[in-house]
Every structure is written in C-alpha cells, then in structure tokens.
Amino acid sequence: MFIQINHLNKQYLDKNGQPTEVLKDINLEIDKGEFVSILGPSGCGKSTLLSIVAGLTGLTSGEVLVDGRQVRKPGKDRDRGMVFQQAALFPWLNVRDNVTFPLKKEMSKKEARAQAAKYLHMVQLGNYQDHYPHELSGGMQQRVAIARALSMNPEILLMDEPFGALDEQTRSRLHHQLETIWMETKKTVLFVTHSISESIKLSDRIIVMGTRPGTILADIKVDLPRPRDAHKEDMVKIEEHIMSYLKKEIDKVISEELAYEHNS
C-alpha cells in the first residue's frame, strides 16, 4: 500500500489539562493513484487526520507510512502537496510568482517559470500569469493554489475542503477540472469534504467518519464510470447508503447532547 495509517490516535489537552480524544484507532490503506475522500460531519477530525498525513500535526500514538517511510514532518522530497480551504496566496505576488515561490530552491528561475506555466495552463489560467490575487475570483484563486501544489510534482495531493467556500456553480466547474487533472496526472489524492455529492462525483473510495471521537464508520467503493453525471440514479443510491451511516451518527450526537443537558 502507498499510504498506510495504522492504529492512529490523536488527543489534545483541554484548558484544564485533561485529554480530549479527537481521533481513535484510525486504520486506512490507500493505493497509489487512488482518489479517496474523507467525509464526515464537522468535528469528526477529518482535517486533523489530513494534517497528520501532511506531517503538519503530530499524532499521539500509531503511525502513518508513505511508501514505507514513517511520516514525522512535512513532505520529504516533496512527496506530499497540500491545498487548504483558503487559497493562501501572497497578495503582493502575481499568479506566476505565487506558483514559482516554493520552487526557488529547487530549480532555476527559467525552469520554475516553465513549470508554473505548465500547471497554470492545466488549470486554465495560462492567460492570468501577470494578474494579482485581488484581481481573481475565489474559484480562480483556488485554481492557482492547485497549480502551486502540482508544480512541486508531489506524489500525493492532500486537499482540505478546497471548494467549501465557493458557490455551487463554481464548485461544479472545479470538480470537472480536478477530475480531468487527476485522470491526466494519476496523483494519489486524499480529499477532505463534508459534501456527499462532491465525494461521490470525485472519488474511487469514500471514507465515512463519525465523531466524538473521530472513527471510521465505513469505507465505500464508488465503482461508477467517469464522468459520473450520466449515472445520477446510481449516485443517488450511494448517497442514500452514506446518509444511513451519517443519520445514525447525528442521532447519536443529539442523544449525547440531550443526556448532557439533562445531567447538567
């Protein structure tokens, strides 16, 4: 397996110094080239899990392996690229320089510009290289962020709800674009989302998570041909299957909250 997560646990200390369990006994294997979504309600720890795989957050116990190497810090030899919820572009740099910024120590200026141009064309922003972030829409800024991550040529693309703040129409366009990029590059993608339809449209597999603490409820394979818009009935069936897990989780959370209020 390309990515292995074995018995991963994560705890934080609360303001009283007491441990709060965020992730409990997470076990997951991902093949090279797979597109896997992590889906679940707010607070289930999906972004924390992604951050641990990125090497940005430490774990309490267990291990994460990438191609047999233990993850302890951000990507060795740029094996992991990260796209965050917000584009996080430098406002004083134009689009081209935002993409080439992480490449400065890796290659010559000419090579970096050629690399940036390649991936900006891939995200259909080749004509915007001299523009600044404030001149771009939110969707365009996210495409710059994707181009920046791709320009480092990582083996794994980690995406933390990259389209969550965008309108539905823009998200739909970017879904198609990301799917096209993935089919062309065959990167391994780990994609965090709270949107069921988004996960079905994009993924080979969907990891459904529950909360308090975060655990894996289901590992669902999406065995539908691409593009998937032509298979809406089958997509609805998968959505209903996922909702059956999430409904139980929601009922559990409500029950716990009512019990807490009753005992307070």
The larger pLDDT score, comparing residue 150 to residue 13, is at: 150
pLDDT digits (tens, 9 = 90+) for 88-110: 999 999 999 999 999 988 899 99
- Give the number of other CB atoms < 10 A from CB of residue 130: 10
| pTM of the full structure | 0.91
Q: Which 8-state DSSP code applies to residue 33? A: T
Residue 76 has pLDDT above 60, yes or no: no
Residue 88 three-state SS: coil
Residue 167 has pLDDT above 90, yes or no: no
Cβ atoms of residues 197 and 43 within 8 Å: no
Return the axis-axis angle of helices 168-185 and 138-151, rounded to nearest 10°. Answer: 20
User: What is the pLDDT at residue 72?
Assistant: 82
Identify the band that residue 58 occupies on the pLDDT scale cut at 50, 70 and 90: very high
**Mean pLDDT to the nearest integer, 10-21:** 87
Question: Please, where are the H alpha helices in 85-195?
Answer: 95-100, 109-122, 138-151, 168-185
Beta strands at 19-30 and 3-13: parallel, antiparallel or unpaired: antiparallel
Query: What is the rounded distance in angstroms from the CA atom of residue 80 to the CA atom of residue 72?
Result: 12
Cβ atoms of residues 216 and 44 within 8 Å: no
In order of start, what are the domains of the chain with their CATH numbers? 3-79+154-230 (3.40.50.300), 88-153 (no CATH)
**Mean pLDDT to the nearest integer, 132-142:** 95
